[in-house]
Structure 1
Amino acid sequence: MEPEQPAQRFGAHPAALTASAPGRVNLIGEHTDYTGGLVLPMAIPFQTNVEIAHAADGMYTFHSAQFQESRVMPPSDQSPAAGNWSDYSVGVLRELQALGVRPEPFYLTVDGNVPLGSGLSSSASIEVATAMALLQHTGKHLPIPEIALLCQRAENVYVHSPCGIMDQFAITAATAGHALLLNTRDLTYQLLPMNTGELAGCVVVVVNSMVRHTVTAGSEYAQRRRELEAGQQVLRERFGVRDLGEATVEQLLACAGAMSAESLKRCRHVITENGRVREAAEAMTAGDAKRLGELMTAAHASERDDFECSVEEVDFLVDTAVQQAGCFGARLTGGGFGGCTVNLLLAGEADRFTAAIRQAYQERYGITAQTFVCEAAAGAVERAATAGSDVTAGTDVAAGRADQL
């Protein structure tokens, strides 16, 4: 059988002019998505909006309404990353070109309100919204997993940020009112309702520490990933596991002498985090807010102590949150080294909780934290379908059962 050619993977649809993609917050399952593990994110009602129109000047123009900056290039351009917001959109264009897609000249405007550098996936939101807009502009379509993987490649290859697949997949495939339990090895997923049992009376509050993080190839994030992958390789050689997604703590301890202390801690976080995600999915199915909150707080302790990706300000926000009435649990969300916490609490306590957190943080650090009460929002594909824009094919991915995850 001959390899599938790029043109065979796309179908023709009428062009459209707009696309939208949300941000996301990860309830639990951090730094597991590049080692075949489990994650449990939900989309949130921040969004990136992209408008695209045919350009008469024969150029590709990317414009940021937020920064009031433009990047203009000919279709043949092969320039490297510019080191700014435009790289996320240009990277997506590059990956489409690698698949044989040659868009007609366009003027593309990016705007939105996803907080930058906060762990809420502003970069992936730009990537997915750009991909959806370019697919419409070219009259092509791709299924959910391929859109997500294309956007991940854009960030890995062009932006040189070693992110996993969680952000792009969740932002593409999320469904309103649900969290998304994703097996990052095979991209099977399960939608979990956020309104069962005790969870029906809960809200998710995101607290932005205002401490910016930068997830780049030269960052501490990249160093943690190298340490993690070194430990994973030891486990592969010793036990034949595919990745940390199927490794056990017992196997890890048996290999402790063959890896660095740092690799041991990074791998211990990921292996135990996968276990916490499984338990969290069970708690959500049962509507057990107390247990879900306990797992979130335990996950933060593991990020702080084993993955060592938290910072003093974020630890303070988590410690303060869990002392508040009605708060079931709290943790760092996103890549770490700053950014946001995610908090699960009774809906009736949200106003009092946010006021107490903001006051305590201001008194301790002189920083005014941002707080957002969030609902589980629609992903980019659901938004497109609601708007009547058919831009993907095969939008259903085989949903894995909980016992398969």
Structure 2
Amino acid sequence: MTPLEVLSRRTIQAFRRAYGREPTTVAFAPGRVNLIGEHTDYNDGFAMPCALECGTLVALAPRDDHLIVAQAVDLGGEKCEFSVNTPIVPMPAGHWQNHLRGVAAGLLQFGLPVAGANLAISGDVPQGAGLSSSASLGVALGLGFTALAGEQTSDRRTLAQVAQWSEHHFVGCACGLMDQIASAFGQQDSALLLDCRALTVEPVYFPADASILIVQSGVVRELADSAYNERRAQCASAASHYEVSALRDLDPQLLEAKRFELDDKVYRRARHVVTENVRTVDAARAIAQGDLVALGNAMRASHHSLKNDFEVSVPAVDALVDCLNLVIGSEGGARMTGGGFGGCVVAALPIDKIETVERALGAFWQAKGMPPQLSIVARPSAGARLLSV
């Protein structure tokens, strides 16, 4: 039985127990890992994520009234209830209901239908790991609600934008759109070169003899409570200084020519974004050519920039990245992934190096006096979709 089949069975069984009936709609949206292109999305730049096999599943059935009644399977069956016929308001910060309430409110804001429904929600994305459990939940909810209401929308961009709107207005995180786009548009065996301004997605086939390795650092991150929003404000300040609408429009020459009278910290934030956009486009070309050496060099340089210019890494993550890069050698590379301040490390490497790297990781955790942390060997997976009930 595949992980998705296990997740589907668990969620549907919980739905039956909670409501005494079968769901009529089942929606799934995956988490994502970002290979390169970090903190570029809200600067209208480039990113290269791919969808993962893990994700969030939502089972739904219609109600005869205007109530949304939902059960969080992974939180001991905790329930929530609210009406879509009255203004939907957030719960206190940090409450899981804000994701659900925010998507329902966002769909209405975007002119999409939301009707009364019973829901069961469950997922298998590791929490706090930087693999976009939040975006996965938002996209799955949007897809499920619209399908239940008979809106067979093919506009996945709108669903992604609804999920982002929910993050901004109900969850409290001023995130970009990369996570939601990756979850909505993921393609099997392909990374996605995402133009975050045009919202266009170009599939880039990931080499058949290569793997993606995702390793938890053991440091759980809280993105909405971190300095993420501060970094976003610093990027906006830099764009204003350079008189561009977004840092996407800033080239390396102008960056250096007009750095006078700019706070050094803000300058370094801008330098990361400018150089990361170049690295991401170069990495996409390397993947398309099956060049793991060039891809690895770009990933290593990305981590150095995130650590020193954007200052979103932490020592535990740096040590894990160094361990992986040492073992992988020139045939790939590793970097932090996600918003930062903990979470996961991602590596690209030949399949035949996986066992060697896993042995090195065992020794690494032993030397740290820590239990082995979760590691996932992955290939790019398909995006959000409706499943058979």
TM-score normalised per structure 2 = 0.89
Structure 1 partner of 2:346: 342
Structure 2 partner of 1:72: 81
Structure 1 partner of 2:187: 175
User: Once superposed, what is the RMSD of the aligned Cα atoms?
Assistant: 1.8
Q: How many residues align?
A: 362
1:43 aligns with 2:51: yes
Instruction: Kindly indicate whether the alpha-carbon contact (under 8 Å) linking 2:89 and 2:101 is maintained by their aligned counterparts in 1.
Output: no
Amino acid at match of 1:348: D
Structure 2 partner of 1:318: 321
Separation in structure 2 between the aligned mates of residue 250 and residue 73 of structure 1, nearest angstrom: 53
Structure 1 partner of 2:96: 85
Structure 2 partner of 1:189: 201
Amino acid at match of 1:206: I
Separation in structure 1 between the aligned mates of residue 351 and residue 217 of structure 2, nearest angstrom: 21
Aligned mate of 1:22, from 24, 30, 33: 30
Structure 1 partner of 2:220: 212
TM-score normalised per structure 1 = 0.85
Aligned mate of 1:253, from 256, 263, 268: 256
Separation in structure 1 between the aligned mates of residue 255 and residue 79 of structure 2, nearest angstrom: 49
Structure 1 partner of 2:150: 139
Separation in structure 2 between the aligned mates of residue 93 and residue 74 of structure 1, nearest angstrom: 10
Amino acid at match of 1:358: G
Instruction: Kindly indicate whether the alpha-carbon contact (under 8 Å) linking 2:90 and 2:102 is maintained by their aligned counterparts in 1.
Output: no
1:131 is paired with a residue of what secondary structure? helix
1:263-282 equivalences in 2 (<5 Å): 263-282=266-285
Amino acid at match of 1:106: A
Structure 2 partner of 1:9: none
Structure 2 partner of 1:229: 236
Separation in structure 2 between the aligned mates of residue 58 and residue 245 of structure 1, nearest angstrom: 43
Separation in structure 2 between the aligned mates of residue 30 and residue 228 of structure 1, nearest angstrom: 13
Separation in structure 1 between the aligned mates of residue 249 and residue 56 of structure 2, nearest angstrom: 35
Shift of 1:135: 0.6
Separation in structure 1 between the aligned mates of residue 52 and residue 125 of structure 2, nearest angstrom: 9
Amino acid at match of 2:347: N
- Cα–Cα, structure 1 residues 162 and 357, in superposed 2: closer, same or farther, change >3 Å? same
Amino acid at match of 1:272: T
Aligned mate of 1:242, from 241, 245, 248: 245
Separation in structure 1 between the aligned mates of residue 287 and residue 365 of structure 2, nearest angstrom: 30
Structure 2 partner of 1:352: 356
1:105 aligns with 2:116: yes
Shift of 1:101: 4.1
Identity %: 34
Instruction: Kindly indicate whether the alpha-carbon contact (under 8 Å) linking 1:294 and 1:328 is maintained by their aligned counterparts in 2.
Output: yes
Structure 2 residues not aligned, in runs of 5+:
1-22
1:62 aligns with 2:70: yes
- Cα–Cα, structure 1 residues 306 and 378, in superposed 2: closer, same or farther, change >3 Å? same
Separation in structure 1 between the aligned mates of residue 30 and residue 345 of structure 2, nearest angstrom: 18
Structure 1 partner of 2:9: none
- Cα–Cα, structure 1 residues 245 and 131, in superposed 2: closer, same or farther, change >3 Å? same
Aligned mate of 2:377, from 373, 377, 387: 373
